[in-house]
Structure 1
Amino acid sequence: MKRKLISAIGVAAMMVSIAACGGDSGDDSGGDTSADGFAGQTLTVWVMDGSSPDDWQAEVAAAFEKETGAKVEFEVQQWNGIQQKLTTALSEENPPDVFEIGNTQTPAYAKTGGLADLSDLKEEIGADWTEALNASSIYDGTQYAAPWYFANRVVLYNKQVWEEAGITETPTTRDQFYADLETIGEKTDAEPIYLPGQNWYYFVGLVVGEGGELVKQDGDKWVSNLDSPEVAAAAETYKKFQALSEAPKDKDEATPQQGEVFAEGNVGAFIGMGWEAGIAIEANPEIEEQIGYFTIPGPTAEQPEGVFLGGSNLAVAQGSEQQDLAKEFLKITLSDEFEGKLAATNGVIPNKESLQSNLSGNAAAEAAAPAAAFGGTTPLIAEWAAVENAPNPIKTYLTAVLNGKTPAEAAAQVEEEFNKRLSQE
């Protein structure tokens, strides 16, 4: 089932001030924060459609009421239009107390003043949150949210094609992966890998793996960093693998849906989210038994490829009059018990490596988990939102590289537009 992660969606229109309604302390407890100290109160929590099962919500609500004496009202929100709806809600007098927020959106909301400081919560319960997963909850050195759940790309492969090529084990290094794909091209009639030229989230992962950044600071502003050696190295890796594919160089993974291409049975592998197997199975149910998964191999067997981490954080509204109660809710929700149950039920990466055992039996999630600690996101700056709007300059950059320009030439081609978006002009 497709996980509709909000993390990658642009929020260019979101940068309006939402700080006016913020309270000073948010202390509504009357001095009594013990069990039953919040009796009679109701906390409003916005979660996105598909993020948390009804049974999980019911169990959290029961534990919350037992611990605090208060009730929680979950309000399920639709993905379409959520950015504007949340922006508006945070500017009003009665915002949701707690809400789910895309991880790459968090800095933009934090900059506008809409999120409460959760540094004390981090100190109390977040010592072992996976650093790479928690990074998006921090803005300008302050903890403005808490990491909730995540997902990243894996290699989905056709077992039958790999067997025809005589490959008996899945690769654990990037070089071995490339060699296996070459073998598929030599020994079978299958396309070794379906990799469209603009699968830019895979590219972001490669940049992360190289230790690179897509932007850099120039004085008091952010500008393109596409001309850096690290980004260039990521582009060359992308180009090397894409050369094994017949996919168009000027399309992304959704045009056409790469799962549907894979469903035809004549592709050795593709790089995508685990739920994309469902797209393939819907198009061709007979392929289900042939689908396997493995972690995207990196430079060594001990270091998987860098991956883009898409997911959601949980935040507390600065304008909430129930901030203490909201933090009690987060302590329960993010506890090992309920974080683990969500991971097991939805097959998502939990916020602690110690909880990844809950993914046992979910092949796609088990393949994704090892790379989580080596992952990252698009730049965690409020100015990033406009960059992703179509036509995305990073997609243009990739296509230019694949069509023969050097990474430096491709970077120069898109630099003006890239910087214009970063400056929000």
Structure 2
Amino acid sequence: MKRWTKAMVGVASIALVTAGCAGSGGTDPGSDAGTDEQRTLTVWLMDGSAPETLTTALHEEFEKANENVTVKYEIQEWNGIQDKLTTALASQEPPDIIELGNTQAPAFAAEGVLTDLTGDIDALNGGQWLDSLKASGEWDGKQFSTPFYAANREVLYRTDMFEQAGITATPTSRQEWLDAIAKLEAKFGSSKTFQPLYLPGQNWYALLSFIYDEGGDIAEKDGTTFTATMTSPEAKAGLEFYKQLVEASGTTAPKDNDEQNPEQAGIFGQGEVAMMIGLPWEVDTATKDKPELKEKISAFPIPSKNAGETAPVFQGGSNLAIPVNSANADLAKDYLKLMLSDKYQGMLAEGGMVPGASTDLSALEKNAVSKAMADASKNGRSVPATPTWATIEAGQNPLKDMLTAYLTGSKSLDQATKDASTALDAAFSAS
């Protein structure tokens, strides 16, 4: 499934065609545009984001409620979308609704090419928005995009291996997690290819859970300014626990690469790994060649250091926005109201995603893998909502460099975190 995890390049500076275009954002909701006028609402959603059953039903309902309106629905590919959006948002005829990766949203908001939705939050089901995606849609005290959907990582595990190792309950604390690793190693460790936990050295998404769990963060915010906090005691404690997991598991995963290089789901699917930290749909990837393994895979939330709690998780996802030059801002807001309603957010949950604007997660509780994601999603966090984050993530990510340096011993904990903070601060201040 093609999601926001595709690498995003930096946002080029966008020059609006005329200064007057950066005003209220198209037709006002109360305008007297003739009701008999035929209008077209252009919607850009990304490939794999919304099930066809959802979009078909939504567009039929929307067109029925707006007699002279036609929805022009166009599915976009993640590959190349940054440049395509940059060009479209600078034009006089952009689409009326766009989907943005949540790490892209701050950059476009800061460029002034998205409609200010601050006054529409309540009407757009704002009381049920995911905090993490809401934060990613904010810039300079205003709301420029709404949550759409999200997902977060969990611990995928082999139920048969747990049973054979005498693990009768899934871990609900870090210590229980470490104890489970020890039991798995004792049972299966005679095999040189066995790994209790496959954990690549640069899985910074997992690292964030440990840092958040310690009470730390990547950076602190002051207005629109961000300052890295990787040298804080909390961030260092999170990094130390990451190293503890790596050493306890004896993982053979590379310390200088991430979960995609090599693809961890493929390694998990070979049958000699008991756990990995991943996303729900990685189960399908892992069992593509061995479908019989699927019934032996379940999941639990990343445990907290506090017994009985789940660790906070990084939530990736997508937002929805209205370009400032949309000629149909009134219709676009009505479209957002429908998309963000309980009905269609529920359909997103049925498709396996955490709905961005609904607290009803019952559809995700039908199987253990999606339930674990739903349980953890209640404690979701986002990366710093800065225009430069997409470039940081797609480039020489300082968090990855920090992990590799510390895990390999090429740098001490203090030096690795100091260098990461310095690199992040430089990136945050880049224009």
TM-superposed deviation, 1:370: 1.2
Would the alpha carbon gap of residues 235 and 48 (structure 1) be closer, same or farther in structure 2, given more than 3 Å must change? Answer: same
Contact persistence 1:210–1:231 (CA under 8 A) = yes
Contact persistence 1:26–1:320 (CA under 8 A) = yes
Unaligned residue ranges in structure 1 (runs of 5+): none
What letter corresponds to residue 413 of structure 2 in structure 1? P
In structure 2, the partner of 1:140 is 140
Unaligned residue ranges in structure 2 (runs of 5+): none
CA distance in 1, matches of 2:36, 2:311: 46
Contact persistence 2:340–2:357 (CA under 8 A) = no
What letter corresponds to residue 381 of structure 2 in structure 1? G
Identity %: 40
In structure 2, the partner of 1:62 is 60
In structure 2, the partner of 1:386 is 391
What letter corresponds to residue 93 of structure 1 in structure 2? Q
Would the alpha carbon gap of residues 192 and 117 (structure 1) be closer, same or farther in structure 2, given more than 3 Å must change? Answer: same
TM-superposed deviation, 1:289: 2.2
In structure 2, the partner of 1:213 is 217
Contact persistence 1:100–1:312 (CA under 8 A) = yes
Contact persistence 1:347–1:362 (CA under 8 A) = no
In structure 2, the partner of 1:236 is 240
Q: Give SS of 2:128's match.
A: coil
Aligned counterparts, 1:391-406, within 5 A = 391-404=396-409, 405-406=411-412
Aligned counterparts, 1:9-28, within 5 A = 9-18=7-16, 20=19, 21-28=21-28
CA distance in 1, matches of 2:90, 2:414: 43
In structure 2, the partner of 1:82 is 81
Question: Residues 69-111 of structure 1: CA distance to partner in whole angstroms, max 9, x if unpaired?
Answer: 2221111001100001001100000001111011121111100
RMSD of the TM alignment (CA)? 2.3
In structure 2, the partner of 1:51 is 49
The answer as to 2:297 corresponding to 1:291 is yes
Would the alpha carbon gap of residues 355 and 37 (structure 1) be closer, same or farther in structure 2, given more than 3 Å must change? Answer: farther
In structure 2, the partner of 1:249 is 255
TM-superposed deviation, 1:347: 0.2
TM-superposed deviation, 1:352: 4.3
Aligned counterparts, 1:196-345, within 5 A = 196-216=200-220, 222-243=226-247, 244=249, 245-344=251-350
TM-score (norm 2): 0.91
Contact persistence 1:130–1:351 (CA under 8 A) = yes
Question: Residues 228-274 of structure 1: CA distance to partner in whole angstroms, max 9, x if unpaired?
Answer: 11211110111111111232211211111111111121111000011
Aligned length: 420
Match of 2:373 among 368, 377, 402: 368
In structure 1, the partner of 2:130 is 130
Would the alpha carbon gap of residues 207 and 353 (structure 1) be closer, same or farther in structure 2, given more than 3 Å must change? Answer: farther
Contact persistence 1:15–1:108 (CA under 8 A) = no
Contact persistence 1:118–1:145 (CA under 8 A) = yes
TM-score (norm 1): 0.92
CA distance in 2, matches of 1:29, 1:117: 13
CA distance in 2, matches of 1:38, 1:242: 65
CA distance in 1, matches of 2:16, 2:370: 37
CA distance in 2, matches of 1:76, 1:130: 24
TM-superposed deviation, 1:27: 2.5
CA distance in 2, matches of 1:30, 1:40: 17
Question: Residues 252-305 of structure 1: CA distance to partner in whole angstroms, max 9, x if unpaired?
Answer: 111111111111211110000111111211133332222111111113355311
CA distance in 2, matches of 1:339, 1:95: 25
TM-superposed deviation, 1:162: 1.0
TM-superposed deviation, 1:218: 8.8
The answer as to 2:111 corresponding to 1:112 is yes
Contact persistence 1:37–1:68 (CA under 8 A) = no
